[in-house]
Amino acid sequence: MTSEEKSITTDKEPSTDPADAFGALSDPLRVDILQALGGYHRETEYEKTIGFADLRRRVGVEDSGRFRYHLKQLHGNFVEKVDGGCRLTYAGMKIVAAILMGTYTDVITKDATELDSDCFVCDNPAVATYENGTCIVSCANDHPLFGWQVPPTAAADATLPEIVDVAELLARQGMERTLNGYCPECYHTIEPEVLAEQTEPPVFRAQCETCGARLISPVGYCLLADPRVAAFYQRHGHDLNKYYIWDLPFIQNEDLCTLVGESPVRVEINVSVAGETLTATVDETGHVTDYQLVGE
Ligand SMILES: [Zn+2]
Ligand SMILES: [Zn+2]
């Protein structure tokens, strides 16, 4: 063991205070160290641990004492020491991913762009914008049609219609994850519910008690990730995922959504394609409990 390696043998206990943990990232050199470790991970599929001296060379710091000091500040929360070398912890990998995604640094704004779609309320063209990490689709009268977060890395070189595609993909995946009981943002457990008491029509709602992420949508969103609804579209030669989410009748038309039970809540949603109707019954947690096929 070299003297350099010896000097990092005392790992700090991980701090549970977020201010302390993120305080460790206050120096640019420490961010460089995390990125160098992330780069090493990408290049070496199986070998995840790098020696102190190799890491210092990768970061490009001559002063061994200075490097040792800053690496120590990352130990515990973001970097761990294994077999005489270091590697990223799970939190370290997440931080590196967030840096690469531009989540905390990039401010990207795109000019409003008309889409090949009309607002279902006023028939004006649907207009997409991207600002502050969020893709929003509305119209000249500000009717809200759709909105979802898209990381800056996915937006940087994309056109607005491409960003809308990504946002819709993330929304479908987010609904699937939410209905499976996991927050789409932080992966803590989340309890989705269909509210009918003070809302007409009923709405789907899920709020994460951990990170505060909140999802409110028409109940029809519960059908977006449903394989049987997708299969119903497919049987008639249509790809459910090719439609803008807000263009789907079972999302936009509240007359197709009927409250059939209040305690517990039961909602029937009619999905019609080519003269055939699939009636899906959704329970108080947003899950489909029953399907009925009705020919017209
Ligand atoms: Zn409108
Ligand atoms: Zn969350």
Mean pLDDT confidence for 77-93: 87
Instruction: Compute the distance from residue 108 Cα to the ligand 1 centre, in Å.
Output: 26
Instruction: Compute the distance from residue 208 Cα to the ligand 2 centre, in Å.
Output: 5
User: Which pLDDT band, with edges at 50, 70 and 90, does 3 fall under?
Assistant: very low
Mean pLDDT confidence for 198-214: 89
User: Which pLDDT band, with edges at 50, 70 and 90, does 295 fall under?
Assistant: low
Pairing relationship of beta strands 50-51 and 125-131 according to DSSP bridges: unpaired
Q: Which residues surround ligand 2, an ion (CB under 5 A)?
A: 183, 185-186, 208, 210-211, 213
Mean pLDDT confidence for 82-88: 86
Mean pLDDT confidence for 245-260: 94
Mean pLDDT confidence for 16-30: 79
Give me the sign of the Cα torsion angle 240, 124, 217, 255. negative
Instruction: Compute the distance from residue 192 Cα to the ligand 1 centre, in Å.
Output: 28
- Give me the torsion for CA of 197, 198, 201, 204, rounded to 10°: -70
Ligand sitting nearest the alpha carbon of 210: 2
The H or E element that residue 97 is part of is: helix 90-101
Instruction: Compute the distance from residue 246 Cα to the ligand 1 centre, in Å.
Output: 12
pLDDT tens for 33-55 read 998 998 888 888 666 789 999 99
Q: What percent of the chain has pLDDT over 70?
A: 92
Comparing CA positions, the residue from 268, 228, 219, 227 lying closest to residue 248 is: 219
CB of 257 closer than 8 Å to CB of 199: no
pTM of the complete model: 0.77
Instruction: Compute the distance from residue 56 Cα to the ligand 2 centre, in Å.
Output: 36
Pairing relationship of beta strands 50-51 and 85-88 according to DSSP bridges: antiparallel
Instruction: Compute the distance from residue 141 Cα to the ligand 1 centre, in Å.
Output: 5
DSSP string, the chain: --HHHHTT--PPPPP--HHHHHHTT-SHHHHHHHHHHHHHHHH-SS---EEHHHHHHHHT---HHHHHHHHHHHBTTTEEEETTEEEE-HHHHHHHHHHHHTTTT----EEEEEEEEE-TTT-PEEEEEEETTEEEEE-TT----EEEE--HHHHTT--HHHHHHHHHHHHHHHHHHHHTTB-TTT--B---EEE-SS-SS-EEEEE-TTT--EEEEEGGGGGTT-HHHHHHHHHTT--GGGS-GGGSHHHH-GGGEEEEEETTEEEEEEEEETTEEEEEEE-TTS-EEEEEEEE-
Mean pLDDT confidence for 272-291: 95
Q: Is 193 helix (H, G, I), strand (E, B) or coil?
A: strand
Mean pLDDT confidence for 174-185: 94
CB of 46 closer than 8 Å to CB of 39: no
Ligand sitting nearest the alpha carbon of 185: 2
Instruction: Compute the distance from residue 154 Cα to the ligand 2 centre, in Å.
Output: 21
pLDDT tens for 235-251 read 999 999 999 999 999 99
pLDDT of residue 16: 63
Ligand sitting nearest the alpha carbon of 118: 1
Comparing CA positions, the residue from 243, 221, 247 lying closest to residue 165 is: 243
pLDDT at 12 over 90: no
Instruction: Compute the distance from residue 142 Cα to the ligand 1 centre, in Å.
Output: 6
Rounded to the nearest integer, the mean pLDDT of the chain is 88
pLDDT tens for 107-161 read 788 989 999 999 999 999 999 999 988 999 999 999 999 999 998 888 888 999 9
Ligand sitting nearest the alpha carbon of 252: 1
**Domain residue extents for the chain:** 3-101, 106-161, 226-295
Ligand sitting nearest the alpha carbon of 127: 1
Ligand sitting nearest the alpha carbon of 206: 2
Q: Is 82 helix (H, G, I), strand (E, B) or coil?
A: strand
Ligand sitting nearest the alpha carbon of 120: 1
Q: How far apart are CA 148 and CA 137, in angstroms?
A: 9
pLDDT of residue 76: 84
pLDDT at 8 over 80: no
pLDDT at 296 over 80: no
pLDDT of residue 269: 97
Ligand sitting nearest the alpha carbon of 246: 1
What's the CATH code, domain 3-101?
1.10.10
Of 17-31, 55-69, 230-244, the poorest mean pLDDT is in 17-31
CB of 278 closer than 8 Å to CB of 250: no
Integer angstrom CA distances of residue 230 from 191, 233, 236, 241, 242: 24, 5, 10, 8, 11
pLDDT of residue 242: 92
Instruction: Compute the distance from residue 196 Cα to the ligand 1 centre, in Å.
Output: 25
Which is more confidently placed, 167 or 16? 167
Q: Is 124 helix (H, G, I), strand (E, B) or coil?
A: coil
pLDDT of residue 202: 94
Instruction: Supply 54's token pair.
Output: 């190799």
Instruction: Supply 9's token pair.
Output: 């043998």
User: Which pLDDT band, with edges at 50, 70 and 90, does 281 fall under?
Assistant: very high
